[in-house]
Structure 1
Amino acid sequence: MADSRTPSVLIIGGGTSGNALTALLRRAGIAVDLVEASADWKAAAGSGITLQGNALRVLREVGVLDAIQKEGYKAEGVAILAPDGTVLAAHEEFRTGGDDLPSHIGMQRPRLQQLLIDEVLASGADVRLGTRATAFDQDGEGVDVTFTDGTSRRYDLVVGADGLGSATRRMIGVTEEPRPTGMGIWRAPAPRPAAVRRTEMVYGGRCFIAGYCPTSEDTVYAYLVEPARDRAAIDPSAYADEMRALSEGYGGAWDEIRPALTDPAVVNYTWFDRHLVEGPWHRGRVVLVGDAAHCCPPTLAQGAAMSLEDALVLADLLTGLDDWASAPLDRILTDYHARRLPRVRLVVDASVQLGQWLLDGVRDADVPGLIHRTMTVLKELP
């Protein structure tokens, strides 16, 4: 039972934003229950992730930056290549986390998930796996939540961090849903070719983008972006064959990456989606964070960063409340939305625009200008 001395929060979803928020709230002395629908919390989907400076800035507050710097790969800038592997342009990246942090670190996605899990467990949060919330019953002082195991508990606040297909979002009556942008992406881990020390991308050839990013001393995260296909028509057992075939015609490091793409179980195919809840992200004492409220194509590599910033801003606003039963949570959650929406909208719109230019074959688009304008804003604190 919640009381003024021990505020309690339920976080639904044990992904990046849910785990980060759990760690931040526990550090502030707030009681947190975390429920995750999957029984295998450690089975994080995805092969690799690019953590830009503003994401690293949050992860430093969460307490996992040192481990990320040890296990991840500090990339030496970005290069644009011709399909045969010839370098056309190379540059240092904008340091969105400030000059004291790398521009970005590549990381194996399952390792990032494990580091966040370890932080949650060390925080003393109550974690229940294979559990979903099925109903919310709110009044002015709290939320009674019913779970799939038949139990119910009362909380001061419920946070929906349950991803793009958020059940929490639908349960509280938010009607905005993700929309495909027309692109699909193949992703897979592979051994790192010795010469690959930075993110490298080819625009053109058989795909819109053929790229890879080092994720450790030994691994890279390789990806191919193409027009979206009907996923139901693709046999998962042929995923590795499909990705290898698409990579034909790309030289340089691709000649080393391609032969390693043999296991269909580690190849992932998804569509690019645009999602942004423009209206309030809360109903009463239930609020959304991360992909449940917004998502964008990875053309700026800012999806995880935006989710992590949500967690940081919400934790900052909630920390220090004296009496949660009588706290003006509606105002606080409205302030959270007001702080996040303009910044998230900027990233979503820019990410979608970069992809649309490729879909439309626009050759004179101001890609550098759009990226620079967006990253300049992101260097400021959220």
Structure 2
Amino acid sequence: MTTARRVLVIGGGSAGNAVTILLRRAGLTVDLVEAKPDWNATTGSGITVQGNALRVLRELGVWEQVESSGFPFGTLGITAPDGTLLHVAEDIRTGGDDLPATLGMQRPRLQQILIDAVRASGAAVRLGTTAEILDQDADGVSVRFSDGTEDRYDLVIGADGLNSATRAAIGITDKPEPTGQAIWRIPAPRPSDVTRTDLTFGGPAYTAGYCPTSETTLYAYVVEACRGREAIPPKSYAEEMRRLATQYGGVWPEITQHITDPAKINYTWYHRLLVEGSWHRGRIVLIGDAVHCCPPSLAQGAAMSLEDALVLAELLTSGQDWDDELFRTFYERRIPRVRTVVDASVQIGQWQLDGERDADVFGLIGRSMTFLKALP
């Protein structure tokens, strides 16, 4: 067996934080570098976390903090644009019967919980820092940091997101592609009768929905066709989102009155990325959004990233050599689940773009979520 024990993690999002915590627990020396000085601790509105993601968060030892901070629920409501409730479906418990099917959280709160766990693990953390791959051989990787220092590691894990510089540095040419849709998101106070996610398909947007994120908060979103970013200056974000939201009924008028500050609104294009073949080159391996991303139609983006971290850490601490066979095993375990999520999420959006009225949206969601109940 190799004696490799020193790891660099590039990127402090869900995947990077999770793999750092798990590898430190196993006794490995881990350095984590994150480009943003604030460690992404203040950005984002909300996140819908499915059971299989909660299962990983429990493995990380942070479930109690997540449970006390979030809002669990087990059903999904479907409403007409005027707010009329059309159907209530039971969510599939992808994490097992001992965890909620779904939990909404404020995204910054989840990030802070993971940050605290990384700090407590004893990992060395450098913020406002990027890493450049200099070269690698059979035994390790040489890296130069943006502060001018250099170091060498037995393994580098690229968890640096959708526009991963690490992905490009190791010669993987895949890039994220827009799917044709975009989403407006905002945090807001939670009306007392919002106790689950409700979705509306149709109206002025493709989808309008909201998710409770705590006893007092929710995040709301509307999905429309992509428009050129230059046509939507950030100062008009509140006006643009409010224009769409005001045309929905039910609790939307109560939510819409809080769509006033453009700085609180996140506008994002949907992208698709799925790197096929392998996620490593030598002693550099990619995880999370660096190798896969998709629209949040299944609310599985964070779950897939967290699962990547769990499976990779399991293999790295299994006693096997850190070689091509191990990293191929990692890829082969992850690709069926990730492909299921990416393909289904993109398909749902494409049906909307194509105006397919008879599309089997809920059948596809059900089949996909049932598949994800199995352990990763």
TM tier relative to shorter chain: over 0.9
CA contact (8 A) 2:133 2:166 kept: no
CA contact (8 A) 2:316 2:322 kept: no
CA-based RMSD: 1.3
1:291-316: CA deviations, max 9, x gaps?
A: 00000100111111000100000000
TM-score, normalised relative to structure 1 = 0.96
User: Which residues in structure 2 correspond to 1:107-126 (within 5 Å)?
Assistant: 107-126=105-124
How many Å separate the matches in 1 of 2:322 and 2:201?
50
Q: Kindly state the Cα deviation for residue 75 of structure 1 after the two structures are TM-superposed.
A: 2.1
How many Å separate the matches in 2 of 1:97 and 1:136?
40
The one of 319, 322, 325 equivalent to 1:331 is 325
* Structure 2 residue matching 1:80: 3-state secondary structure: strand
CA contact (8 A) 1:6 1:31 kept: no
Structure 1 stretches of 5 or more lacking a match?
Answer: none
* Structure 2 residue matching 1:348: 3-state secondary structure: helix
CA contact (8 A) 2:74 2:100 kept: no
The one of 343, 351, 375 equivalent to 1:357 is 351
1:253 aligns with 2:251: yes
List 4+ stretches of structure 1 deviating above 4 A. Answer: 3-6
Letter in 2 for 1:82: A
Residue 377 of structure 1 aligns with which residue? Answer: 371
User: Which residues in structure 2 correspond to 1:125-136 (within 5 Å)?
Assistant: 125-136=123-134
How many Å separate the matches in 1 of 2:224 and 2:242?
14
Q: Kindly state the Cα deviation for residue 224 of structure 1 after the two structures are TM-superposed.
A: 0.3
* Structure 1 residue matching 2:372: 3-state secondary structure: helix
Q: Kindly state the Cα deviation for residue 92 of structure 1 after the two structures are TM-superposed.
A: 1.4
Residue 206 of structure 1 aligns with which residue? Answer: 204
Q: Kindly state the Cα deviation for residue 43 of structure 1 after the two structures are TM-superposed.
A: 3.4
Letter in 1 for 2:19: L
Structure 2 stretches of 5 or more lacking a match?
Answer: none
TM-score, normalised relative to structure 2 = 0.98
Letter in 2 for 1:359: L
Residue 88 of structure 1 aligns with which residue? Answer: 86
Q: Percent identity?
A: 64
Residue 221 of structure 1 aligns with which residue? Answer: 219
Q: Kindly state the Cα deviation for residue 235 of structure 1 after the two structures are TM-superposed.
A: 1.1
How many Å separate the matches in 2 of 1:203 and 1:17?
31
CA contact (8 A) 1:187 1:221 kept: yes
Letter in 2 for 1:130: G
How many Å separate the matches in 2 of 1:216 and 1:80?
21
Letter in 2 for 1:310: D
User: Which residues in structure 2 correspond to 1:22-171 (within 5 Å)?
Assistant: 22-171=20-169
Letter in 1 for 2:352: L
The one of 338, 341, 344 equivalent to 1:344 is 338
1:113-146: CA deviations, max 9, x gaps?
A: 0000000000000000111112231111111111
How many Å separate the matches in 1 of 2:211 and 2:260?
19
Q: Kindly state the Cα deviation for residue 232 of structure 1 after the two structures are TM-superposed.
A: 2.2
1:234-274: CA deviations, max 9, x gaps?
A: 11111111111111210111010000111111100011111
Q: Kindly state the Cα deviation for residue 215 of structure 1 after the two structures are TM-superposed.
A: 0.3
